[in-house]
């Protein structure tokens, strides 16, 4: 990545994916990095560190909803705002550039690959600078942030110097091919990349919004407005939290750069050994995990007793894993398992399948469905993970905010929307809870072989997406008309795509690269999933916050102070969210996404959604036009770059097609196929190996896939529980008095039992997640040095404990009434019942087809499954 000054890598050799640039092999994960960085910078730009003023004070120049930091430290405000905006714009540009780059195309060479590398470096450096400026509030935090994040700048500087010198030495000679990368090594790097990306993004959010919140007013000699509450009242605890969190952030960013530059470090002959690279990489990952664990223990509670409880939770989790490991290796358990599996196999051979089993088998083994879903399996996992993340956070931090004082019919920490708009709040709550439960069900279904490619999985995904749509429409606005307009935006996107496909889809050409089409689909699906998660959170918690008292309590402050700016933000954000959800639905249907990609309808929608994000950011990130100018300039720059690249690629495509046509006509002017296809796009059969056939990594072994899935689940739970543990439901006390202290959780004082239930469930989930991640890292490291690999069975137990604790924390923290908390638990069997009801109905519909398939030599499970998806 730091090689943006070096020459581009050589074209990939046929059949050798290991010789491709690291940016190509890790393309989807670099896209994940770019979109998650865009997510956190988008949120940070709309809700700046230091908080916002709660009420007007014209004499002191305070405006409700405006940033406190802008008045208390204007220089730091401007520097942070520009760093954050540059990182946000660079992230969007990287995502759109990766959409243009094809794994096997020539455009990895020349100008595009160095451009991607340069923008990625600018992106991460902007993120690092924004963290250092936005998270520093005194001498200690400034010094800590400067020292720790300087490692990132130092790595970039040294890497740039090394590759610049290397290029000067190799001037005039052909560049050597990129060193090979082993497949198992690449698989490890992919999941380590995901772990580092999530660690960096959650540490960025927590560093800019420390636990305890900020003082909203100044008190002479005690504190200033915008300062962290924890910094003044628990100074040593705040230092420990900030140092650990910053160490995790810096280690994660450095690990990301090492993973991308991993293969390039082979050029350091005599200076760096292979073992040193792995030691540095795993050392940084372990540092990030320890940093997050230390920051959680320091920031999630206010006394040593609870901190000790959090640290001690690792003992029961480890004991649970150890007991299952011992039980799984006992001879009695092994003999029973062998006897049970043998008996099941014998009974299955004796029993002839009935019509219902045949119908279900037809659903489960339908080639087009299974192939279609298996191709997008990783993205579906990501959909479930991120949907669960945003639904969990939205349930604990509901739209409209919480009451800051007790009043008639409500208590401190209760959702404002429940008092002012009870019907709307209940609609949001149940839609959001259904999406959360459906996301957990999706993650479980993906690990069940007979459900991973079935119609039931599609039903769960549709239920998940519609749950998010309903929750967004109910929670993002306060009147019915606006909710209807919001949902209508998704319908408008679907109508546009259908019209575009009907009237502007070109005829399918022979020899069309299906692999390249699938590559575009994966990139579009990943972009749409992450754009949906980003805009969902921003729509429910708009910039400027909410009014906390009076008849406008629960309404956005920005809506009253700057109505036109708020409308621009709201509709741009809503359009981007609905477009993203519509794209996800379309990209899961093969009959829609293939013509949609060929005619560029889906690409147009995705680009429009990205520009909607930029416009929403420009409208909502600042109340002052002068400050917003930098965002408008960046928007114009991104637009210009994309237009220039699109024109250049289009011209190159026309020239290439014309050259191929002339060459084909000269080679065989009387060939009737050439006369019917003047562009020369027919692939004639030959015995040469296809470049695409071996260049894509093959699927991992089942155990490797399971390990990667467990790592993803651990990352999910660690991410959400880390942030919610630092910012518990109900908010924090703003000041001292009546037996409470500023910065302490409100829920702890008004309902201690509910708070303890949430706290211990959340902490158990966090510790179980960190334990899963640590054990998987240990397993990979022991496998690397040739020792026995740890079994995955005990880790499954930890994962089940993790999900149950996460569900318990959501039920305890998302509402203040026991009746609704129990309803959340009861949603689990209800969602499963709905999914399997859909499955049964589809089975009855396809009963005849399933029976024919079963009695026809099991075509669906045999030769028929080898046909491409959607083949007629």
C-alpha separations of 36 from 61, 570, 571, 688 in Å = 35, 21, 22, 41
Q: Nearest to residue 723, comparing CAs of 305, 316, 229, 208?
A: 208
User: Tell me, what's the pLDDT at 855?
Assistant: 39
User: Tell me, what's the pLDDT at 830?
Assistant: 75
Alpha-carbon gap, residue 432 to 389, rounded angstroms: 11
User: In this model, does residue 586 exceed pLDDT 80?
Assistant: yes
Instruction: Tell me the average pLDDT across 381-405.
Output: 79
* Coil, helix or strand at residue 410: strand
The model's pLDDT over 418-432, given as tens digits with 9 standing for 90+, comes to: 888 888 888 888 888
User: Tell me, what's the pLDDT at 373?
Assistant: 54
Sort residue 155 into left (φ over 0), alpha (ψ -120 to 50) or beta.
alpha
Q: Is 165 part of any domain?
A: yes
Alpha-carbon gap, residue 127 to 253, rounded angstroms: 10
> In terms of pLDDT, which residue wins out, 5 or 514?
514
> In terms of pLDDT, which residue wins out, 836 or 728?
728
The model's pLDDT over 169-222, given as tens digits with 9 standing for 90+, comes to: 666 555 555 555 566 666 677 777 878 888 888 888 888 888 777 776 666 666
Q: Say how many CA atoms lie within 13 Å of 517 toward its Cβ.
A: 19
The model's pLDDT over 14-54, given as tens digits with 9 standing for 90+, comes to: 334 445 566 666 677 777 777 778 878 887 887 778 777 76
Span between the terminal Cα atoms of the chain, in Å: 44
Alpha-carbon gap, residue 335 to 548, rounded angstroms: 64
User: Tell me, what's the pLDDT at 545?
Assistant: 75
* Coil, helix or strand at residue 110: coil
User: In this model, does residue 860 exceed pLDDT 80?
Assistant: no
Q: Is 92 part of any domain?
A: yes
Alpha-carbon gap, residue 236 to 412, rounded angstroms: 28
Q: Is 362 part of any domain?
A: no
User: In terms of C-beta density within 10 A (0-12 exposed, 13-18 middle, 19 or more buried), how is residue 780 classed?
Assistant: buried
> In terms of pLDDT, which residue wins out, 759 or 216?
759
Q: Nearest to residue 527, comparing CAs of 863, 157, 39?
A: 39
Give the mean pLDDT of the chain. Answer: 71
- Least confident residue range of 274-278, 555-559, 732-736: 274-278
Q: Print the domain residue range for 51.
A: 1-10+20-219+227-282
Q: Is 171 part of any domain?
A: yes
Tell me, rounded to whole angstroms, the distance of Cα 797 from its chain centroid: 25
> In terms of pLDDT, which residue wins out, 672 or 209?
209
Q: Is 829 part of any domain?
A: no
Instruction: Tell me the average pLDDT across 861-870.
Output: 37
User: Tell me, what's the pLDDT at 796?
Assistant: 72
- Least confident residue range of 649-653, 798-802, 866-870: 866-870
- Least confident residue range of 146-155, 328-337, 707-716: 328-337
Helical (H) or strand (E) element with 47: none
User: Tell me, what's the pLDDT at 165?
Assistant: 72
Confidence of residue 668 (pLDDT cuts 50, 70, 90): low
The model's pLDDT over 279-325, given as tens digits with 9 standing for 90+, comes to: 777 888 888 888 888 888 888 776 777 777 777 777 777 777 677 66
Confidence of residue 353 (pLDDT cuts 50, 70, 90): very low
The model's pLDDT over 673-713, given as tens digits with 9 standing for 90+, comes to: 444 444 444 444 444 444 443 343 343 445 666 776 777 77
User: In this model, does residue 564 exceed pLDDT 80?
Assistant: yes
Q: Nearest to residue 461, comparing CAs of 376, 527, 538?
A: 376
Instruction: Tell me the average pLDDT across 112-135.
Output: 83
- Least confident residue range of 149-163, 266-280, 307-321, 598-612: 266-280
User: Tell me, what's the pLDDT at 368?
Assistant: 47
Alpha-carbon gap, residue 15 to 690, rounded angstroms: 7
Portion of the chain with pLDDT greater than 70, in percent:
65
> In terms of pLDDT, which residue wins out, 125 or 522?
125
User: Tell me, what's the pLDDT at 790?
Assistant: 62
Q: Are 257 and 189 in contact (CB under 8 A)?
A: no
Instruction: Tell me the average pLDDT across 159-173.
Output: 67
The model's pLDDT over 367-388, given as tens digits with 9 standing for 90+, comes to: 444 455 555 566 677 777 778 8
Segment of 101-105, 250-254, 322-326, 490-494 carrying the highest mean pLDDT: 250-254
Burial 837-858 (b: 16+ CB within 10 A, else e): ebbeebbeebbeebbebbeeee
User: Tell me, what's the pLDDT at 608?
Assistant: 82
Instruction: Tell me the average pLDDT across 716-733.
Output: 73
User: Tell me, what's the pLDDT at 234?
Assistant: 76
The model's pLDDT over 486-514, given as tens digits with 9 standing for 90+, comes to: 888 888 888 888 887 777 766 665 455 67
> In terms of pLDDT, which residue wins out, 765 or 865?
765
User: Tell me, what's the pLDDT at 435?
Assistant: 86
User: In this model, does residue 629 exceed pLDDT 80?
Assistant: no
Q: Say how many CA atoms lie within 13 Å of 194 toward its Cβ.
A: 24
Q: Residue 677 CB: number of other CB atoms within 10 A?
A: 16
Q: Are 867 and 470 in contact (CB under 8 A)?
A: no
Q: Is 769 part of any domain?
A: no
- Least confident residue range of 34-48, 114-128, 354-368: 354-368
Q: Nearest to residue 243, comparing CAs of 207, 208, 196?
A: 207
User: Tell me, what's the pLDDT at 288?
Assistant: 86
User: In this model, does residue 550 exceed pLDDT 80?
Assistant: no
Q: Is 536 part of any domain?
A: no
- Least confident residue range of 95-109, 118-132, 273-287: 95-109
Burial 437-463 (b: 16+ CB within 10 A, else e): bbbbbbbbbbbeeebbbbbbbbbbbbb
Q: Are 415 and 435 in contact (CB under 8 A)?
A: no
Domains in the chain, number: 1
- Least confident residue range of 88-92, 263-267, 534-538: 263-267
Q: Is 24 part of any domain?
A: yes
Alpha-carbon gap, residue 558 to 474, rounded angstroms: 19
């Amino acid at each position: 990545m730091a090689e943006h000054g070096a020459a581009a890598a050589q074209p990939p050799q046929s059949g050798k994916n290991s010789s491709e640039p690291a940016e190509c092999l890790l393309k989807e994960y670099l896209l994940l990095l770019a979109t998650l960085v865009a997510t956190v910078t988008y949120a940070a730009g709309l809700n700046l560190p230091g908080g916002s003023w709660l009420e007007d004070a014209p004499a002191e120049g305070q405006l409700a909803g405006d940033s406190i930091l802008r008045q208390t430290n204007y220089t730091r405000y401007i520097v942070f705002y520009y760093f954050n905006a540059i990182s946000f714009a660079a992230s969007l540009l990287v995502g759109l550039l990766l959409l243009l780059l094809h794994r096997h195309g020539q455009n990895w060479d020349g100008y595009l690959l160095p451009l991607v590398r340069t923008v990625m470096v600018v992106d991460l450096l902007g993120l690092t600078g924004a963290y250092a400026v936005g998270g520093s509030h005194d001498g200690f935090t400034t010094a800590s942030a400067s020292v720790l994040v300087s490692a990132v700048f130092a790595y970039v500087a040294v890497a740039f110097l090394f590759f610049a010198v290397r290029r000067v030495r190799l001037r005039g000679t052909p560049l050597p091919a990129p060193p090979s990368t082993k497949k198992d090594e690449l698989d490890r790097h992919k999941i380590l990349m995901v772990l580092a990306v999530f660690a960096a993004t959650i540490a960025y959010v927590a560093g800019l919004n420390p636990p305890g919140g900020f003082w909203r007013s100044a008190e002479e000699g005690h504190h200033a407005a915008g300062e962290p509450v924890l910094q003044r009242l628990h100074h040593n605890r705040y230092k420990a939290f900030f140092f650990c969190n910053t160490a995790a952030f810096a280690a994660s960013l450095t690990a990301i750069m090492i993973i991308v530059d991993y293969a390039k470090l082979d050029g350091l002959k005599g200076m760096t050994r292979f073992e040193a690279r792995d030691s540095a990489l795993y050392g940084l990952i372990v540092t990030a995990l320890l940093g997050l664990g230390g920051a959680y223990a320091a920031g999630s509670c206010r006394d040593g007793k609870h901190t000790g409880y959090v640290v001690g939770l690792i003992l029961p989790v480890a004991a649970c894993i150890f007991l299952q490991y011992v039980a799984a290796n006992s001879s009695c358990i092994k003999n029973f398992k062998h006897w049970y599996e043998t008996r099941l196999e014998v009974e299955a051979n004796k029993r002839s399948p009935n019509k219902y089993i045949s119908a279900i088998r037809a659903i489960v083994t339908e080639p087009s469905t299974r192939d279609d879903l298996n191709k997008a399996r990783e993205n579906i996992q990501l959909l479930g993970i991120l949907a669960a993340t945003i639904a969990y956070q939205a349930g604990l931090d509901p739209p409209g905010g919480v009451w800051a004082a007790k009043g008639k019919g409500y208590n401190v920490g209760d959702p404002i929307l429940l008092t002012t708009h009870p019907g709307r709040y209940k609609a949001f709550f149940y839609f959001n809870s259904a999406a959360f439960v459906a996301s957990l069900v999706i993650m479980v279904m993906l690990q069940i072989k007979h459900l991973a490619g079935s119609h039931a999985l599609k039903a769960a995904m549709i239920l998940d997406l519609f749950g998010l749509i309903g929750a967004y429409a109910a929670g993002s606005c306060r009147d019915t008309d606006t909710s209807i307009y919001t949902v209508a935006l998704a319908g408008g996107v679907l109508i546009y795509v259908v019209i575009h496909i009907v009237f502007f889809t070109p005829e399918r050409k022979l020899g069309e690269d299906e692999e390249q089409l699938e590559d575009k689909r994966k990139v579009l699906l990943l972009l749409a999933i992450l754009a949906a998660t980003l805009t969902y959170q921003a729509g429910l918690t708009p910039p400027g916050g909410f009014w906390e008292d009076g008849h406008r309590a629960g309404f956005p402050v920005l809506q009253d102070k700057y109505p036109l700016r708020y409308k621009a933000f709201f509709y741009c954000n809503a359009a981007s969210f609905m477009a993203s959800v519509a794209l996800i639905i379309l990209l899961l249907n093969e009959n829609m996404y293939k013509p949609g990609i060929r005619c560029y309808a889906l690409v147009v929608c995705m680009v429009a959604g990205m520009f909607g994000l930029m416009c929403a950011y420009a409208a909502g990130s600042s109340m002052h036009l002068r400050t917003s100018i930098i965002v408008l300039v960046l928007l114009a720059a991104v637009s210009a770059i994309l237009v220039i690249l699109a024109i250049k690629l289009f011209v190159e495509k026309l020239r290439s097609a014309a050259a191929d046509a002339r060459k084909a006509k000269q080679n065989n002017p009387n060939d009737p196929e050439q006369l019917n296809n003047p562009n020369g796009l027919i692939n004639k059969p030959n015995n040469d190996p296809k470049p695409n056939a071996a260049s894509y990594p093959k699927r991992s072994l089942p155990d490797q896939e399971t390990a990667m899935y467990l790592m993803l689940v651990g990352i999910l739970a660690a991410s959400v529980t880390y942030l919610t543990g630092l910012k518990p439901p109900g908010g924090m006390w703003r000041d001292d008095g009546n037996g409470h202290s500023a910065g302490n959780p409100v829920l702890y004082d008004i309902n201690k039992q509910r708070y303890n239930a949430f706290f211990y469930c959340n902490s158990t989930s966090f510790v179980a997640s960190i334990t899963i991640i640590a054990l998987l890292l240990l397993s990979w490291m022991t496998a690397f040095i040739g020792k026995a690999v740890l079994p995955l069975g005990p880790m499954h137990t930890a994962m089940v404990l993790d999900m149950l604790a996460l569900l318990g924390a959501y039920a305890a923290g998302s509402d203040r009434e026991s009746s609704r908390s129990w309803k959340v638990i009861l949603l689990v069997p209800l969602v499963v019942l709905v999914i399997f009801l859909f499955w049964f109905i589809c089975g009855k519909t396809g009963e005849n087809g399933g029976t024919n398939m079963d009695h026809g030599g099991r075509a669906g499970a045999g030769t028929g499954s080898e046909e491409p998806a959607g083949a007629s």
